Structure 1
Amino acid sequence: MESSPPTITVQVKFAGRTIPVELPTSASTAELKLLLQPLTNVLPRGQKLICKGKVLADAASLSSMQVGDGSKVMLIASQGLHQGEGPITKNSSGLAPSAKRTSNVKDNQTLKPEIISKSRAERWKITGMQAVPEEVWDCGSSIRVLDVCNNSIEAIPQKIAAVKSLNKLLLTANDISDGGISWEGLSCVDTLTVLSLSQNRLVTLPPSLGTLTFLRELRIANNMLGSLPVEIGLLKQLEILIANNNRITSLPSSIGDCESLFEVDLSSNLLAELPKACGNLHNLKALHLRNNGLNSLPPTLFKKCWRLTTLDLHGTGITNDILRQLEGWEEFDERRRQKYQKQLDFHVGSSGVFDEGADDDNRHA
């Protein structure tokens, strides 16, 4: 039986923690940095490793730098060069964003019984509710917008199916977990075009998300989602997908079937790559990927996504030099510069500094 190669364990000190890392004795500094990425969320090019007062060179073997079993290595992270919401520190919280937010409303505040009105349904936010009032379900088809953001709501029951004419369901900043939504009931509301579930306690989204075929805007930011269901590809009318600040490690290739998408925000996740099918999003105008573990883009992204004008790759492994090597870069660059010039001409949405879209190669620890 073939024996395993000899290994060493290096003790890496970072942000109040000591992280033991086992790796082959022949490993290089670059290999150690790759192993540290998921343990710290710091991108390799944002890591500076120091042992015995010397900075460890990427290409050098650890043994040549006198790093052996039990050696102590200090990691210094460059600001902004991380995946997810930030570097993992000793005091990092595992709570969902909704559990960390503060609220100035009374937990037990109750609503006076009175006849519900459409305008009141739109103003039911920041009232401290723990459940959607029963009178909502009696209102039937008269409600177009239900806004219960910034409360303590834990569940959306099957009764949601009774609100037949609902266009917008806004549930941002509540306490909704995976089992808290009746997706079966929600799928009966075939007028729903906007669904906001940001800042809740969601870990997964069910396949039944794909039944919301009239959805145009889906906001699921600041949860603990690790992935998106394959059935998201059934949302042919989806135009806006906001899923930043989650724990998404990969995207299903079916995302390329969301042919109406023009804005996608996947910033501050744990993505290592994008599926090639992203090149099928021909209507895509804005793609936000800041603070992910990406080192490459789909080769046809610039060529096929011919409307793309906004691309944010800051805090990833993709630099401006890498971008310029992709096919279709020149056309993309021309489009975004024209957009920037229009903003300058009309004094709209521009700080006066042109953003290249990614970090320069010379930005490192």
Structure 2
Amino acid sequence: MEKTAELEENAIAGSKQTGAIITIVVKFGGRSISVSISPDSTGSDLKSHLQRLTNVLPRGQKLIYKGKVLTDNMSLKALQMTDGSKVMLVASQGLHQGDGPSTKKATLVMDNLRTIPHVHQNQINHETLTIEKARRERWKLIGVAALSECHLKAVPDDVWDCGLSIRVLEMSTNLIQELPAKVSSLKSLTKLYLNANDLSDKSISWDGLSHLKSLKVLSLNQNNLTTLPPAVGKLISLSQLHIAKNMLTCLPDELGCLNQLQVLKAGNNRISLIPAGIGSCSSLIEIDLSSNLLTELPETLGKLRNLKGLYLSNNGLNSLPSTLFKMCTQLSTLDLHRTEITNDFLRQIEGWENFDERRRLKHQKQLDFHVGSSGAFDEGADDDNWL
């Protein structure tokens, strides 16, 4: 084995001498990154692999060699780069991938070198481990693991290795199909974002989630969920629950156990029934149930004294809970677009006058401070059932 390794190392050295492989030095963020690469590689090749070490997206990278820009289609050979050439990497602000630039030095060996017989596989493995170690240390330091848009099919083992260190886990817009029971090891987790993945009812370990007693934000928008299990009621610290754009048909009565829940967003589902237990969510400030299949709402909604915004557009509703305006004394936004509820009906509900005054004051404040969505008051708000 030692003899084989020695032969491979000699072969690499020989390849460098013949020009098959060169080592260039990329200057970035006050540090130097050594890159072993074929001179026939293009600027695009170099950019895509530098992304691993800098976390800067290729479109945000500009490579400069001796005052000339290395374009995506230009080869290193075209700019007469040789072994030891120095290249400057300039990154555009705001185009960092994930959790920002790496802080550790590492040597990059391009993936396509694996097809070259003389490249030492152990060298590639070493560099991968170096990058992963740097990532773990960074996560542990800042408590945030940002992995959105990384084409992930599973939660990386690095996440579990960080254990108690991670407070925020962002893995939206990936291809993740499972949230395993290991999630229970993230005891310090306060925010979990898994929007736009491929999660289904049985692929989420709700038992594991229920151990996260510090979890305040759970976001599962745009997945393949058809049911929300009773175990959601065990997330006692939850203040925000985002489950929009799934295929949910109802919500569990155990939702009422979430007495710290302030925001519930469940729009764009197939929900036809809201449990009476929702009236026990005494901290609710905003509820979005737009674009569902609702034909009625529970009277217990009137118990939500802190409710300020209720969004019910695009449902089959023709009535509202009789105590909604009387008991929900902070309610100032009510969206009834594309429902069968008329203004004549609303004016007959007890407490209408006080609600109407609150919502007019809110619109006036939006005019005064220019914070309305369109910058102008909607003169047809009454007719459009936007209250």
Instruction: Name the TM-score, length of structure 1 as normaliser.
Output: 0.66
Which residue of the other structure, out of 176, 185, 194, is the alignment partner of 2:208?
185
Which residue of the other structure, out of 371, 375, 379, is the alignment partner of 1:348?
371
Report how far residue 112 of structure 1 moved: 4.9
Is 1:153 the counterpart of 2:153 in the alignment?
A: no
CA distance in 1, matches of 2:259, 2:380: 31
Structure 1 contact 273–294 (Cα < 8 Å) conserved: yes
Matches within 5 A, 1:26-41: none
- Counterpart amino acid of residue 297 in structure 2: L
CA separation of 1:359 and 1:290: change in aligned 2, threshold 3 A: farther
CA separation of 1:237 and 1:324: change in aligned 2, threshold 3 A: same
Matches within 5 A, 1:205-220: 205-220=228-243
Is 1:259 the counterpart of 2:274 in the alignment?
A: no
Structure 2 contact 221–246 (Cα < 8 Å) conserved: yes
Structure 1 contact 294–316 (Cα < 8 Å) conserved: yes
Larger Rg: 2
Which residue of the other structure, out of 272, 281, 290, is the alignment partner of 2:304?
281
Structure 2 contact 233–255 (Cα < 8 Å) conserved: yes
> Percent identity over the alignment?
57
Matches within 5 A, 1:238-249: 238-249=261-272
Which residue of the other structure, out of 290, 297, 310, is the alignment partner of 2:320?
297
CA distance in 1, matches of 2:357, 2:380: 12
CA distance in 2, matches of 1:182, 1:285: 33
CA separation of 1:130 and 1:318: change in aligned 2, threshold 3 A: same
Partner SS for 1:161: helix
Partner SS for 1:201: coil
Which residue of the other structure, out of 216, 221, 230, is the alignment partner of 1:198?
221
Q: Which residue of 2 aligns with 1:320?
A: 343
Structure 1 contact 320–360 (Cα < 8 Å) conserved: no
CA distance in 1, matches of 2:162, 2:292: 39
Matches within 5 A, 1:73-88: none
Is 1:164 the counterpart of 2:195 in the alignment?
A: no
CA distance in 2, matches of 1:244, 1:269: 7
Q: Which moved more, 1:222-231 or 1:321-330?
A: 321-330
Structure 1 contact 312–358 (Cα < 8 Å) conserved: no
CA separation of 1:357 and 1:215: change in aligned 2, threshold 3 A: farther
Q: Which residue of 1 aligns with 2:330?
A: 307
- Counterpart amino acid of residue 301 in structure 1: L
Q: Which residue of 1 aligns with 2:156?
A: 133
- Cα RMSD for the two superposed structures: 1.7
Report how far residue 342 of structure 1 moved: 1.1
Pick 1 or 2: higher relative contact order, CA cutoff 8 A, min separation 6: 1
Partner SS for 1:332: helix
Q: How many residues align?
A: 251
CA distance in 2, matches of 1:122, 1:358: 46
Q: Which residue of 2 aligns with 1:223?
A: 246
**5+ long unaligned stretches in structure 1:** 1-110
Structure with the higher fraction of residues in helix conformation: 2
Report how far residue 344 of structure 1 moved: 1.2
Structure 2 contact 325–350 (Cα < 8 Å) conserved: yes
Partner SS for 1:264: strand
CA distance in 1, matches of 2:369, 2:128: 49
CA separation of 1:309 and 1:230: change in aligned 2, threshold 3 A: same
CA distance in 1, matches of 2:279, 2:204: 26
Instruction: Name the TM-score, length of structure 2 as normaliser.
Output: 0.63
CA distance in 2, matches of 1:350, 1:328: 27
Q: Which residue of 1 aligns with 2:74?
A: none
Report how far residue 353 of structure 1 moved: 2.2
What does the per-residue CA deviation read over 1:244-268, in whole Å, with 9 as the maximum and x for residues that have no partner?
0000001000000000000000000
Is 1:250 the counterpart of 2:296 in the alignment?
A: no
Structure 1 contact 314–359 (Cα < 8 Å) conserved: no
- Counterpart amino acid of residue 128 in structure 1: H
CA separation of 1:318 and 1:181: change in aligned 2, threshold 3 A: same
- Counterpart amino acid of residue 218 in structure 1: L
CA distance in 2, matches of 1:112, 1:176: 28
Structure 2 contact 363–377 (Cα < 8 Å) conserved: no
CA distance in 2, matches of 1:317, 1:240: 25
**5+ long unaligned stretches in structure 2:** 1-126
